[in-house]
Chain A
Amino acid sequence: ELKVEQNPLFLSMQEGKNYTIYCNYSTTSDRLYWYRQDPGKSLESLFVLLSNGAVKQEGRLMASLDTKARLSTLHITAAVHDLSATYFCAVDMEEYGNKLVFGAGTILRVKS
């Protein structure tokens, strides 16, 4: 059974600081997704990572994938308050796609 673990589960940081969220998964996969969720809202897609060594950046967020280590990271640079949300990684195991296994989520709070 595929397991996806995120850490930390809760992250409180000051504006302007850098930090990394980690996502480990237990079996082979080459498709990993990062989503953002605001309270009471749906999930917003941030990144799709499809191959080993993939790196994608959008604004203050950068995601990478190491399929050999079964590890993805979401790096936050110079955090701002607007980044406060819950971040989920999800791994897609099935050949037809879209049967995602989600991590428990990382609650990020950026303090002014």
Chain B
Amino acid sequence: NAGVMQNPRHLVRRRGQEARLRCSPMKGHSHVYWYRQLPEEGLKFMVYLQKENIIDESGMPKERFSAEFPKEGPSILRIQQVVRGDSAAYFCASSSRLSSYNSPLHFGNGTRLTVT
């Protein structure tokens, strides 16, 4: 049973370019969470999505960042006009509704974004 799959593993972008990060949840999971980890810090919640719905985006920067989880296909975290401060590891996690209370979140391997 494949875990949470993220790609690419590493992404290098120049300032001003767009970054698109993809996340395929575990099979049977319809809830996706994105977290960001800045160097030598803990993870910070960004956004929680269900299929075709954004449930909580309280951790998302107001500008340049967007997320979606379409009916078909992976969840996408999109960062427009990247700046150096966007350099971080972006982790995706998924859950099924029934398991979310007493099961830990299972994280993907992350996408490490470097902005040059």
Question: Residues on A close to B: CB < 8 A?
Answer: 4, 31, 33, 35, 40-43, 45, 48, 50, 88, 90, 94, 96-105
Whole-angstrom distance between the alpha carbons of A48 and B33 in the complex?
18
Task: Assess A48 versus B102: contact at CB under 8 Å? Given A88-B42, A98-B95, A99-B56.
Answer: yes
By secondary structure, the B interface counts as: strand
User: Does any Cβ of A come within 8 Å of B48's Cβ?
Assistant: yes
Q: For the complex, is B31 an interface residue (Cβ under 8 Å from A)? A: yes
Q: Are A42 and B105 in contact (CB under 8 A)?
A: no
Q: Is B103 an interface residue (CB 8 A)?
A: yes
Q: Which B residues form the contact surface with A (CB < 8 A)?
A: 31, 33, 35, 40-45, 48, 55-56, 91, 93, 95, 100-110, 112
* Chain B residue nearest in CB terms to A33: B104
In the bound complex, do residue A97 and residue B100 qualify as a contact, i.e. CB atoms below 8 Å apart?
Answer: yes
State whether A101 and B45 are in contact (beta carbons under 8 Å apart), knowing that A42-B108, A42-B109, A50-B102 are contacts in the complex. Answer: yes
Q: Which of B42, B44, B48, B110 contacts A98 (CB 8 A)?
A: B48
Closest residue of A by beta carbon distance from B58: A99
Contact A105 B41 (CB under 8 A): yes
